[in-house]
Amino acid sequence: MPDPLSARPAPLCGLDLWFCALAFQLNNEGTQAMDIVLTLLVAIVAWRVLCLRYQRAHITLLGRHLAGLQLERHMETLTQGYTRAINEKAETRQLQVLETFAQTERAVATQAQSLAHAMQKENARAASMITTKFCVPYAERFLPALTKDFRELLHIHATGLRHVVDNEGRWDAKERAYRLSAELYLFQHSCHWFCKSRAVADARLVLRHQVTHQKALESVSAVTRSAYLQWLTPAN
């Protein structure tokens, strides 16, 4: 008959205890790592939801003011028309094509001013835009130093467009079209920046027009560039 005592488990030796402690530690560390990952995922999802809500408010605001204007259509007509004119082989034909856009150019300048005036009625918080590359939702409420006033930027663009359309720089037709194209690109960039983020605006400018933000800024009139850089400079 077997000894009942022989059925008892053998007492744990030091090595067994070490393995048990190691397993417990690894399990504990794994749980902590999982908690960190889950916390990060929750934070990322919450940030993304806030970004979408924040950006949707900006898109709605700008869209409401653009609804009564044909600014976007006129801008598209000009950017495509200038490209077509440049592709004409004969210079006389290029000039003829450029002359056909005179009325559209005046309409763009006028409607850009109308948009700038209409946005002046919005409060500073609603018209704030984030200066960082990526969206920081509602930064104007707790980090106002990271924001700029979109109303001021629209005024800069409206003034610059009028300056070029009226040819106050006394450029020839091709140079004037080049400057005006840059003004339109930079204007589009600012609208995308306000609605989305600076990084998205940079990417869209390159994808749609094969132009970088820096190149567009270098190509606008000195009037626009000087005012834009002053607006962009952080306040002391």
Write out the residue range of the structural domain in which residue 95 sits.
Answer: 53-232
How many structural domains does the chain have? Answer: 1
Residues 6+ apart with CB under 8 A from 179: 164, 169, 171, 219, 220, 221
For residue 161, is it within any domain? yes
- Alpha helices by DSSP H, the chain: 14-66, 71-86, 91-99, 102-119, 139-142, 150-165, 173-195, 198-209, 213-219, 222-232
pLDDT tens sequence across 33-77: 666 767 777 777 777 888 899 999 999 999 999 998 999 999 999
Does 3 reside within a domain? no
Q: If you count them, how many residues does the chain have?
A: 236
- pLDDT, mean over the chain: 87
Q: What is the amino acid identity at position 188? A: Q
Which of 85-89, 131-135, 159-163 is the most confident on average?
159-163
Please report whether residue 146 resides in a domain.
yes
Q: Is position 16 within any domain? A: no
Question: Which pLDDT score, from 0 to 100, does residue 12 have?
Answer: 46
C-alpha span between 100 and 228 (Å, rounded) = 30
Q: For the residues 94-122, what does the mean pLDDT come to?
A: 95
Tell me whether residue 199 is in a domain.
yes
Whether 23 is covered by a domain: the verdict is: no
Q: For 99-122, what is the mean pLDDT? A: 96
Going by pLDDT thresholds of 50, 70 and 90, the confidence category of residue 235 is low
- Give the mean model confidence (pLDDT) for residues 94-118: 95
Q: Which string of DSSP letters, residue by residue, matches 179-217?
A: HHHHHHHHHHHHHHHHHT-HHHHHHHHHHHHS--HHHHH
pLDDT value at residue 11: 52
User: Which whole number is the average pLDDT over 179-193?
Assistant: 97
Please tell me the predicted confidence (pLDDT) of residue 157: 98
In a domain, 13, yes or no: no
Tell me whether residue 39 is in a domain: no
143: pLDDT strictly greater than 80: yes
Look at residue 21 and tell me whether its pLDDT is greater than 50: yes
